[in-house]
Amino acid sequence: MGNTIEVLWTGGWDSTFRVLYASLIEEKEVRPHYIADLARKSTLRELKAISDVRRELEKIDKNAAERIKELTITPITEIESFEDITQSYVRLKKQAHLGSQYDWLSRYARMKNIDCLELSVHVDDKAYYFLEGKVEQKDHGGWKLKSDVTGDTQIFSCFEFPLLQISKTEMRAKAKELGFIEALEKSWFCFNPVGNAPCGTCSPCIYAVEEGMGYRLTKSGILRYKTRYLRKAARLPVRVSRKVYSKLKS
């Protein structure tokens, strides 16, 4: 692997922590990859976060900032299809919940000939169900699929998991201790921003609150988080009545 690492940088807390820690503390050269989902409202906001993090890191350590190479941006629709990977993903998904990103990320890694794409998966993430007992820790600290693992789980073999056992609040403490918290705070997590603020109701917002990071939401974001079930229920009859209305009209 040498001193260069390939990292999926989403602009989120975990992958930003990884990029900062690797460049600043481990003095590694970081090749960041970003997959653009153009259907998602947060795409531009995430790219802005990545840029903001870089600028903030330049203030902390110019050399570390230079170790982070140019961002490779690929639209999700440009990822090559590999039937064997997608078939494996579909079979795994039948066993337990598995996000579609593991299909396209695995295809992306193959398309780019990357055998070690770092993903910020955590033991609490749903994907860990498929990794438990099948990964081993490498000398440099990251976790990788054991070489004797066969079958569909192999779609994870092109990944490495450097943050498997560290929580968001532990990352925060570490970033404070090591002097890069200002840069880490420039990361972004909400899929569906309201104006410039996190929505409080999308999955990453909900996880942020549940994982002790609620301070990153604004007051109105927290209010939307607390009332999210009520709001969902309140919206439902409107949709139903619209449907009924259009039926009545036709």
Positions touching Zn ion (CB under 5 A) are: 190, 192, 198-199, 202, 205
Q: What minimum distance in Å lies between the beta carbon of 23 and Zn ion?
A: 27
Q: What minimum distance in Å lies between the beta carbon of 214 and Zn ion?
A: 12
Q: Of the candidates 187, 208, 10, 20, which has an alpha carbon nearest to the alpha carbon of residue 105?
A: 10
Q: What minimum distance in Å lies between the beta carbon of 50 and Zn ion?
A: 18
Nearer to Zn ion, 123 or 194 (CB): 194
Nearer to Zn ion, 79 or 190 (CB): 190
Nearer to Zn ion, 53 or 205 (CB): 205
Neighbours of 87 (CB within 10 A): 13
Q: What minimum distance in Å lies between the beta carbon of 191 and Zn ion?
A: 5
Report the SS3 class of residue 126: coil
Q: What minimum distance in Å lies between the beta carbon of 205 and Zn ion?
A: 3
For residue 136, give the H/E element and its range: strand 135-137
Nearer to Zn ion, 110 or 216 (CB): 216
Which burial class, exposed, middle or buried, applies to 36 when counting CB atoms under 10 A from its CB (0-12, 13-18, 19+)?
A: middle
Q: What minimum distance in Å lies between the beta carbon of 170 and Zn ion?
A: 23
SS3 labels along 148-162: CCCHHHHHHCCEEEC
Nearer to Zn ion, 171 or 205 (CB): 205
Q: What minimum distance in Å lies between the beta carbon of 225 and Zn ion?
A: 9
Taking the C-alpha atoms of residue 117 and residue 109, their distance in angstroms, rounded to an integer, is 7
Contact (CB, 8 A) for 145 and 134 = yes
Neighbours of 163 (CB within 10 A): 23
Nearer to Zn ion, 11 or 198 (CB): 198
Number of C-alpha atoms within 13 angstroms, CB side, residue 212?
7
Which burial class, exposed, middle or buried, applies to 159 when counting CB atoms under 10 A from its CB (0-12, 13-18, 19+)?
A: buried
Report the SS3 class of residue 49: helix
Nearer to Zn ion, 223 or 240 (CB): 223
